[in-house]
Amino acid sequence: EEWKGWMQFLFLIYHYFHAKEVYNSIRVFISCYVWMTGFGNFSFFYIKRDFGFVRFWQMMWRLNFLVFWLIMVHGNTFILYYINPLHTFYFLMVYVAMYIFSSCNHDKYPVRWKLAVLALVIFFVWDIPGVFQFV
Closest CA to 84 of 99, 69, 98: 69
Residue range 88-119, pLDDT digits in tens: 999 999 999 999 999 999 988 998 999 999 99
User: What's the average model confidence in pLDDT over 111-130?
Assistant: 91
Per-residue pLDDT for 1 more than 80?
no
pLDDT score for 18: 85
| Cα–Cα distance measured from residue 129 to residue 134, given in angstroms and rounded to the nearest whole number | 10
Q: 12 pLDDT exceeds 80?
A: yes
pLDDT at position 7:
85
The whole-model pTM stands at 0.81
